[in-house]
Structure 1
Amino acid sequence: MRAHLALPLLLIAAITLTASFAPLAIHLSPLLVAAPTCAAAVAPTRFTVVMALTASAAVVLIDWHDGLVHSPLLPIHIGALLAVSGSAIAARALHDRDLRELTQVRAVSEAAQRVLLRPIPRTLGSLRIASMYRAATAHALVGGDLYAAVRTGRMTRFLIGDVRGKGLPAVEDASVLLGAFREAAHEHETLPKLAASLERSVRRHLAEMAERDPDSAERFITALLVELPDEEETVRVVSCGHPPPLLKRRGGVTHLCVSRPAPPLGLAGSTAEAFTVDTFAFVPGDTLLLYTDGLVEARDATGAFYPVLKRAATWTWCCPHSLLQHIGQDLDSYAGRHLDDDLAMVAVHCPARSSHSPETTA
């Protein structure tokens, strides 16, 4: 940054020195407008003002050397420099104002993300967990994808979802579902009852939105509810139109496809009977990956979708955080750092029991 600040001064010094050796018929003072213009591009407003005044003094010095002190050219040279400098200073001031506003908006956005997508702890019970969120819109930190984790009793429950649509309506829908999940996860003993409670909350929200937004009837949320009991080597899953999770076991990587997925929230039934829970084995050493369709719908330059199962064989699954970092890098290399949709991921690892653990000894 200091080199950038020195550049306008070097321009003034170089032009002034060159003019002192140039023939009197060649007037170089008009070139000094480059100094404040350059300063406005790289320096704050005050520094640009200083450079404009310094360049004006250099104009007087060069025109005095050229014998133009009493010529009409001197006020013309100074007037032209001040006019250009004024425009550059005004543009820089507007830029600084917009930058301050952008910084404030970004701070509010980061605060909103922390409220909506609370960081999931690295450990819940005996599980090791990592989460990642990437927005498709440049400079956006909050979108329509969501995830949450709740520790309730002797189990850990997870939610991952994707709101139909984008922008503020999607963020509003996501906030309603997250708030409902964090409250209802402690009140309902089974996943179907929890899913039915979330469906009722989403429907009430969409009904309220219908009064001011007729298109709200077409909004819904795909969601996946996952439950991991402490005393059982199982994972229970309820799918509401969401992509199936990936399970990594010593034998390879597979999809946990549910038998009867329910419609997305907002379109599903409001009773527990409308939701089917599927149970799968989840033993020590296994890793579960929850994700939104931003992963499976990423495309390369030819338009081909990201081959999740094929690429999963190359991922590093030993650590949840390393896994998500590896997926992000692999996705960037495949899609060229461009995502057409938001992406949320949660990795859950069940550590292998040590041979010296109390359970093994018993």
Structure 2
Amino acid sequence: MDRFQAGDLPDRTARMAVGAAVALVLVIILADVISPKGVYLSPMLVVAPALTTAFAGPRLTAGVALVAIAAQMVAASLTGSALSAARLWQLSALVVVSILLIFFSYVRQRRARQLSRARRVAEAAQRVLLRPPPERVGPLRIGWQYLTAEDDTQFGGDLFAVTRRRPDSSRVIIGDVRGHGLPAISEASAALGSFREAARRCARLDELALILEESIGWDLEEGGEGPGQEDEHFVTALLLDLPDAHDHASMISCGHSPPLLVHSDGRVTTAHCDPAPPLGLGYLSLTGVRIQTVEYAVGDTLLLYTDGVIEARSPQGEFYPLAKRVRSFPYSESPEVLLKRLRQDLLAHTGGHLSDDAALLAVTRAN
């Protein structure tokens, strides 16, 4: 979700805004000319270039400023006070303020371009990191959505991937790294890399979970975590094994929210599972993991999500009721349609702004 920047107005809108600023100059000059003697309204001309800086760059700001300066001189000539001390001071003040406004507009536009470049780089890096899954993996149809938080500087560690374990099953992960910024991106990258490598060669899902636990633990140690900080970094994850020839799915939850199962008959249920500790804490080998099985027939959709979805709040502070809202949607075999409706409904609930990144992954077993 790209944030809207003031400097990103379409050209047509910018031209209309500049036209409004010029019209404001004309109104002020007309009022100044017809006002009683000794009443000067032309100092208000500075409002026009000041407003222009909010939606235009330095060139348009300079153009409007020149129009305002010319209008100031015309008004002084028409009122016969061109050489009065008051008019000269007003003109000087308008010139100085206009120069400052043009400089401010230049700095603002330069900063906006830097932020735009940084946003594009971040989006590209995130796409490389996530390596979005294809629309079709074996008998599965895949849909996904990644909604970024309102603050573009907060790049979270939400992650998901779908990989094929030949010859007859697919492996899925969705997870959430604690924290934001570069450390979270680094940990998410390590988790995804380990998953893609291990998912293809691990015969069992519990073996995959233990390998991920070990790999993420090593990565945190190499990251230079100091004493007492080990519990501050971890990854919640949901691992799934989806065989091609069976009507069930196996899953392991490592501290992650359970998925929703949208059945082909329209029913929506929660695929409850006993959660194991999150990855990276070092407890998984002590507590062990439990593989749980859920019904997953042709036409069913598994809806996976991160906590940014269920913890999204409305302006009144109400959490987003994911299961309730999904039950209200008309059934569709298309995961893309489901996620499109869900995205629109989630943003409507929050007023268009999210406080945390949110990832959604829908996996439908096709015919």
Interval containing the TM-score (normalised by the shorter chain): 0.7 to 0.9
Q: 2:339 aligns with which of 309, 324, 338?
A: 324
8 Å Cα contact 1:28-1:62 kept in structure 2:
no
Give yes or no for the alignment of 1:175 onto 2:189.
Answer: yes
Q: 1:59 aligns with which of 58, 72, 79?
A: 72
The 1:293/1:39 distance shift into structure 2, 3 A limit, reads closer
8 Å Cα contact 1:234-1:281 kept in structure 2:
yes
Gapped runs of 5+ residues in structure 1?
Answer: 354-362
8 Å Cα contact 1:287-1:348 kept in structure 2:
yes
Q: Write out aligned runs for 1:76-225 (5 A).
A: 76-139=89-152, 142-153=155-166, 154-211=168-225, 215-225=229-239
8 Å Cα contact 1:210-1:216 kept in structure 2:
no
SS at match of 1:165: strand
TM-score (norm 2): 0.85
Task: Determine the C-alpha separation between the residues in 2 that align with 1:296 and 1:71.
Answer: 68
Deviation string, structure 1 residues 212-237 (Cα, Å, up to 9, x no partner) = 68634421111111111222222111
8 Å Cα contact 2:49-2:98 kept in structure 1:
yes
Deviation at 1:306, TM superposition (A): 4.1
Q: 1:13 aligns with which of 26, 32, 41?
A: 26
Write the letter of the residue equivalent to 1:158.
Answer: V
8 Å Cα contact 1:196-1:272 kept in structure 2:
no
Task: Determine the C-alpha separation between the residues in 2 that align with 1:338 and 1:63.
Answer: 50
Deviation string, structure 1 residues 270-318 (Cα, Å, up to 9, x no partner) = 7699333223332212111112223333445665544444333212342
Task: Determine the C-alpha separation between the residues in 2 that align with 1:69 and 1:38.
Answer: 26
Task: Determine the C-alpha separation between the residues in 1 that align with 2:346 and 2:21.
Answer: 43
Gapped runs of 5+ residues in structure 2?
Answer: 1-12
The 1:32/1:304 distance shift into structure 2, 3 A limit, reads closer
The 1:347/1:93 distance shift into structure 2, 3 A limit, reads same
Percent identical pairs in the alignment equals: 42
Task: Determine the C-alpha separation between the residues in 1 that align with 2:108 and 2:117.
Answer: 14
Task: Determine the C-alpha separation between the residues in 1 that align with 2:41 and 2:35.
Answer: 8
Deviation at 1:65, TM superposition (A): 2.7
| Residue of structure 2 equivalent to 1:255 | 270
Deviation at 1:107, TM superposition (A): 0.9
TM-score (norm 1): 0.86
Residues 60-69 or 135-144, more deviating: 135-144
8 Å Cα contact 2:161-2:192 kept in structure 1:
yes
Task: Determine the C-alpha separation between the residues in 2 that align with 1:136 and 1:158.
Answer: 24
Q: How many residues align?
A: 351
Task: Determine the C-alpha separation between the residues in 1 that align with 2:39 and 2:277.
Answer: 80
Task: Determine the C-alpha separation between the residues in 1 that align with 2:130 and 2:218.
Answer: 22
